[in-house]
Amino acid sequence: MESRSTDGQNAKRWIVVFVVALIIYLLSFGPAARMMYRRSASEVAARSFEVLYAPVLWLQRMPVIGGCIYLYADLWGAIDD
């Protein structure tokens, strides 16, 4: 019986780790976008940004979520008005 509760606790820990990592990934988009668009980035850095944040850039094309991502990037100063 003890191994079942341990397995359940391990699963919960991994879920928490995954969710925290996902949140950190999403929150890192704003500062990374600022560094990419506010400074002259090399081609390699620009391509790396596009590859690393491809899921976020894809979500940005969605009407509601895209607006939130745009506002978050603007909050970090990544958007030129």
Q: Whole-prediction pTM value?
A: 0.78
DSSP code per residue over 17-74: HHHHHHHHHHHTHHHHHHHHHHTT--HHHHHHHHHHTHHHHHHTTSHHHHHHHHHHHH
Looking at the domain assignment, is residue 80 inside a domain? no
User: Is 66 contained in some domain?
Assistant: yes
Q: Range of 16's domain? A: 2-75
At residue 1, the pLDDT reads 45
Q: What is the pLDDT tens value at each position of the chain, 81 positions in all?
A: 455 668 788 899 999 999 999 999 999 999 999 988 877 778 888 899 999 999 999 999 999 899 999 999 999 988 876
Residues 6+ apart with CB under 8 A from 41: 35, 49
Distance separating alpha carbons of residues 13 and 34, to the nearest angstrom: 33
Q: What integer pLDDT is reported at residue 20 of this predicted model?
A: 98
> pLDDT value at position 32?
93
Asked whether residue 81 is domain-assigned, the answer is no
Q: What is the pLDDT of residue 81?
A: 61
**Is 47 inside a domain boundary?**
yes
Number of domains in the chain: 1
